[in-house]
Amino acid sequence: MTAINLNESSVRELNEKLQSGSSGDQFSVNNTVGKHALSVGLTSEVNVVINGHVGYYCAGMNQQANIVINGNAGPGLAENMMSGEVRVTGNASQYAAATAHGGLLVIEGDASSRCGISMKGVNIVVGGNIGHMSAFMAQSGCLVVCGDAGDALGDSVYEAKIYVRGEVKSLGTDCIEKEMRDEHKKELKELLTQSNMSYKVEDFRRYGSARKLYNFDIDQVDEY
């Protein structure tokens, strides 16, 4: 286990060490005091434990690495992640997993607004609530919310799937509630298990695209 203290090392030194790690290496990062761009651009199956609150873009563009943040995360957590797993024990600020293509992001606390904005295949599981405009223009992947969802959920969603257990304050344009079929229940159960969230699949509802905005139709002009 390599410990890196941000009182002594710079963010550049931290990222260089983590980016050149090999599969199975263990790292712990301390004295984070809200610094930005920590543990970004990792490319191998290293294990990183970050102790403290982090600033913007922690775990940005993550590939393969396993990252745990014991604290809160600032905006853009795991943005554009490609694979691997990121878990935050506290809350995540806005834009969590923005445009991410793969991997799993688990937020044990709450996520702020625009969670999963423009997501492109990532799976996100939030133990608490999510803020407004979440899953905006979400293209693919799954967003699982164990708490409540804020205004305009899934506005302009494409094919991403949204599962919510609590209340949805309001739905965004072209986002509707959909039937939970066996394949959805299976998918949801897998995600809850993977993320260690012990909730029952039956308590969730599914939301997705009504697909009315896919090609321009003059009768939908009010939606624009």
- Contact string (CB under 8 A) for another protein, positions 61-100, x = contact: x-x--------x-xxx--xx-x-------xx-xxx--xx-
CB of 198 to another protein, least distance (A): 25
d(Cα 79, Cα 65) in Å, to the nearest integer? 14
Contact 105/123 with Cβ under 8 angstroms?
Answer: yes
- Quick check: 48 binds another protein (CB under 8 A)? no
- Quick check: 101 binds another protein (CB under 8 A)? yes
Sheet of 140-145: strand order equals 2-5, 26-30, 47-51, 66-70, 85-88, 104-107, 120-126, 140-145, 161-164, 205-209, 175-178
Number of H helices, E strands in the chain: 2, 11
Stretch that binds another protein, among 21-29, 152-160, 180-188, 191-199 (CB under 8 A): 152-160
- Quick check: 3 binds another protein (CB under 8 A)? no
- Quick check: 131 binds another protein (CB under 8 A)? yes
Contacts of 217 (CB under 8 A, 6+ apart): none
- Quick check: 55 binds another protein (CB under 8 A)? yes
Q: Please list, residue by residue across 125-147, b when 16 or more beta carbons sit within 10 angstroms of its beta carbon and e when fewer do.
A: bbbbbbbbbbbbbbbebbbbbbb
Our CB check for another protein shows the closer of 120 and 184 to be: 120
Name the residues that contact another protein, by CB under 8 A.
11-12, 15-16, 19, 33-37, 40-41, 43, 52-53, 55-57, 60-61, 63, 72, 74-76, 79-80, 82, 90-91, 93-95, 98-99, 101, 112-114, 117-118, 120-121, 131-132, 136-137, 139-140, 156, 158-159, 213-216, 218, 221
